[in-house]
A and B are shown apart, each in its own frame.
Chain A
Amino acid sequence: MEGKVDTRYWRFCLWMGPTFVLVFFLCWGVLGHNFPPFPPDTPASEVAGWFRENHNGVKLGMVIAMTFAPAYGVWGYALAKILGQVIRDEHNIIVQLARLGAAWTTMAILIATSFWLTAAFRPDALPDWMIQLLYDMAWLLIDLAYAVTSVQLFALGIGFLADKREVPLIPKWLAWYGIWVGFMFAAECLMPYFMNGAFARNGILNFWIEFLIWMVWVPYLTICGFKAIGRIEQE
């Protein structure tokens, strides 16, 4: 690749990753009562009662979460630009897959959050079971859409491993960590079979471990991304 790479806006786009994680945690997680979620065996009346009492908070949380959902895609595109410099080919299929994985993840987040928002839209007019249905549907979608995020994780991981530089732009251990996170996400397939315990949607594996290993990956990859941009500008 010849000539100086135009890296304007790359840093801004990279900031969108940690921004998304923070906003999503506060709005979707705290305001939306999703961090941790209601256990699947919670009675419908309890879930519905909570939505009726806190519908304004949930609405606010989901509206902001939906507004910031594209930030994940923007961050993913910035990483794909760095990946293009790592393997020195913007049109390589791995770069395209990294972009697609980020875009698909954004769509999955948007659709899932719209279900929680629907539950909070007019909860007094909805029967308990319907609010529970929307809550379950949102959780089943956001968890089982793990595979689209895994596409991004695998593409970035495999692409970063292909770096021929003596000191890779992104550390190899982080590339492997990302692949491992994508691999671990497969445990989400167990979630629909459990109403409680470690593999339920609020369980130690399918909630705490899965979300935390991804939430660590985003900011750490962002920090390494900033360093990589500096090196790309000097090359």
Chain B
Amino acid sequence: MREAVQADLASANSQSATDDTIPPGDSGVWVFIIADMCAFALFFVLFAAGRIAQPEVYEASRQQLDGAIGLANTLILLTSGAFMAQAVRAARKGNRAATLSGLGLALGVGLLFGITKAFEWSAKLNQGIGLTTNEFFTYYFVFTGIHFLHFVVGIGVLFALIARVRKFDLDTTQQRWIESGGAYWHMVDLLWIVLFAMLYLMRAA
């Protein structure tokens, strides 16, 4: 009886070590995430200051963006993020097949963002709108470009996680890797949501 209670306690402890770890994943990766969010916060301040100075230019430029594509990108990243969260939950439970399918779906859906983004940028360039058209479009191309770089790194991380799950057992180290990758991928989602609201939705005048 006593052994059974001890086994239960051990199981509960190991569960809490993975389920309730705050923050999830490697604590160091949060330094990267927080530093990155600070950099983007500065970008948002720059954009806000520019919009206050030139509200008409910003509003006219905003109306040239395709809100439907922006919304599609948001939904794509949110869906991909939901699959990532599913993969993290499955990894914590030690369910390898569900982890792999979650990661695979997060990757597959996430790749659609790259396609729509390429489509959106090429449409803008074909209309003669580029990096130096005006301040709004400078920020539009730079911010979405830097965000896209984060997206590409995230896709690389998802590929790496799938390879690791295929190769190694789902131990606590693996779970930590998946949680860290998940935290990064959610940051990519979050930054896009703010970019979407700031560039596509908020009226300047």
Contact = CB atoms under 8 A, between A and B. Distances in A.
A and B found bound together = yes
Interface of A: 161, 171-177, 179-180, 183-184, 186-187, 190, 193-194, 197-199, 204-205, 209, 213
B35 A180 contact: yes
Given A180-B36, A184-B39, A205-B42, A173 B28 contact: yes
A193 B142 CA distance: 11
A180 B138 CA distance: 23
B5 to A, nearest CB: 29
Given A173-B30, A190-B142, 11 more contacts: A173-B31, A176-B26, A176-B29, A176-B31, A177-B31, A177-B35, A180-B35, A183-B153, A194-B138, A204-B46, A213-B35
B39 A193 contact: no
A100 B69 CA distance: 44
Contacts of B72: none
Interface residues of B, number: 21
A38 B186 CA distance: 40
A200 to B, nearest CB: 11
B106 to A, nearest CB: 21
Residues of B contacting A: mostly? helix
A175 B29 CA distance: 9
Contacts of B42: 204-205, 209
A180 B32 contact: yes
B28 A187 contact: no
Most chain-A CB neighbours within 10 Å: which of B27, B39, B132, B153?
Answer: B39
Given A177-B32, A204-B42, A209-B39, A193 B131 contact: yes
A72 to B, nearest CB: 23
Interface string B116-145: 000000000000000110010010001000
B197 interface: no
A177 B28 CA distance: 8
Contacts of A213: 35
Contact of B146 (A174, A177, A187, A193): A187
B97 interface: no
Interface string B145-169: 0100100010000000000000000
Contacts of A177: 31-32, 35
Contacts of A197: 135, 138
A175 to B, nearest CB: 6
16 contacts: A171-B28, A172-B27, A172-B28, A173-B27, A173-B30, A173-B31, A175-B28, A176-B31, A177-B32, A180-B32, A180-B35, A180-B36, A190-B142, A194-B138, A204-B46, A205-B43
Interface of B: 26-32, 35-36, 39, 42-43, 46, 131-132, 135, 138, 142, 146, 149, 153
Nearest to A184: B39
B138 A172 contact: no
A189 to B, nearest CB: 9
A221 to B, nearest CB: 13
Given A173-B28, A197-B138, A186 B149 contact: yes
Contacts of B32: 176-177, 179-180
B46 A161 contact: no
B46 A180 contact: no
B167 to A, nearest CB: 17
B29 to A, nearest CB: 6
Contact of B28 (A161, A193, A205): A161
Nearest to B135: A197
Given A186-B149, A187-B146, A204-B46, A176 B28 contact: yes
What are the 4 A-B residue pairs with the smallest beta carbon separation, nearest first? A172-B28, A173-B31, A176-B28, A176-B32
Contact of B142 (A176, A184, A199, A209): A199
Contacts of A184: 39
Nearest to A195: B132
Contacts of B43: 205
